[in-house]
């Protein structure tokens, strides 16, 4: 039975180059099938109440199934990672890692201009998020429930795990998976913020092997952002003031200490 289990695990095993290749295929598949499902809403906007989350669900599941087929990996590997237990202290440290690095992610995001050459792209980005706010329940289901589950399966459970199983150096695999996660958002404003948080989530997954833990952090992050957007009606609303560099510096140091403490806490696993 153990040999069978090891065989299942070994199939999710690929290089950095293939990680980019699989990610590209996954994102194209995601957008293609999600876009097809969403077509009726172009003719009757209220259908977005159903088609926003349905399109995301169909798109991400199609992408995940395709990657599992290409890598000849059984879904049991993903389920095993979701069910992997973690301690209360690991949960607390993981939340601290996310929370303390959040101001840095917001600061880096705020550095990207929204005018000039990027103005039209930003308007398109803003229009997409405003649609989520117009269909609040559908937006909440998509951003806060479905995205944390299926994006973590795709980017941590498959892309990052595949590189780690290939004996790619952990720091490289975590950075690459965070980079891919940022690129997958397909806009420069989320690229940096999501990339930083993707690296944090990747480190936490690497040390705990728990997909549920990163799903929970992803849920906290998206829900906090979405609630703020609902309250202020503004896609640019941040949790922290991005011009308070002292607070950002202190919290970043606390974030590094949280990462180190988590590393020490999980060293024997």
Q: What's the rounded Cα separation, in Å, for the pair 186 and 106? A: 17
Summarize the confidence of residues 5-25 as an average pLDDT.
80
Summarize the confidence of residues 105-119 as an average pLDDT.
82
Question: Which structural domain, as residue segments, surrounds residue 215?
Answer: 2-265
Distances in whole angstroms, Cα of residue 46 to Cα of each of 37, 51, 78, 250 = 14, 9, 35, 46
pLDDT tens, 201-221? 999 999 999 999 999 999 999
Percentage above 70 pLDDT, the chain: 91
pLDDT score of 129: 76
For the entire predicted model, the pTM comes to: 0.90
Percentage above 90 pLDDT, the chain: 69
User: Is the model more confident about 119 or about 47?
Assistant: 47
Q: What's the rounded Cα separation, in Å, for the pair 95 and 220? A: 9
pLDDT at 2 over 70: no
Q: What's the rounded Cα separation, in Å, for the pair 251 and 110? A: 17
Q: How many structural domains compose the chain?
A: 1
User: Is the model more confident about 268 or about 194?
Assistant: 194
pLDDT band at 3 (very low <50, low <70, confident <90, very high): very low
Summarize the confidence of residues 101-113 as an average pLDDT.
87
């Amino acid at each position: 039975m153990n040999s069978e289990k090891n065989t299942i695990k070994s199939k999710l095993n690929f290089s950095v180059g293939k990680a980019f290749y699989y990610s590209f295929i996954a994102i194209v598949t995601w957008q293609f099938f999600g876009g097809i499902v969403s077509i009726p809403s172009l003719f009757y906007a209220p259908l977005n109440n159903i088609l926003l989350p349905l399109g995301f669900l169909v798109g991400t599941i199609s992408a995940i199934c395709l990657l599992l087929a290409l890598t000849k990996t059984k879904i049991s590997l993903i389920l095993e990672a979701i069910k992997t237990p973690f301690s209360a202290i690991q949960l607390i440290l993981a939340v601290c890692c996310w929370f303390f690095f959040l101001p840095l992610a917001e600061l880096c995001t705020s550095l990207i201009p929204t005018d000039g050459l990027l103005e039209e792209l930003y308007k398109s980005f803003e229009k997409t998020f405003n649609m989520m706010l117009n269909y609040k329940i559908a937006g909440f289901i998509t951003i806060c429930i479905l995205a944390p589950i299926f994006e973590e399966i795709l980017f941590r459970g498959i892309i990052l795990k595949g590189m780690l199983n290939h004996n790619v150096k952990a720091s490289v695999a975590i950075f690459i998976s965070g980079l891919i996660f940022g690129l997958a958002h397909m806009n420069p404003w989320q690229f940096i913020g999501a990339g930083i948080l993707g690296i944090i989530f990747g480190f936490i997954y690497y040390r705990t092997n728990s997909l549920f833990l990163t799903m929970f952090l992803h849920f906290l992050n998206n829900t906090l952002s979405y609630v703020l957007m609902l309250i202020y009606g503004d896609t640019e609303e941040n949790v922290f003031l991005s011009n308070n560099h002292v607070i950002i510096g202190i919290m970043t140091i606390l974030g590094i200490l949280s990462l180190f403490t988590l590393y020490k806490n999980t060293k024997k696993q």
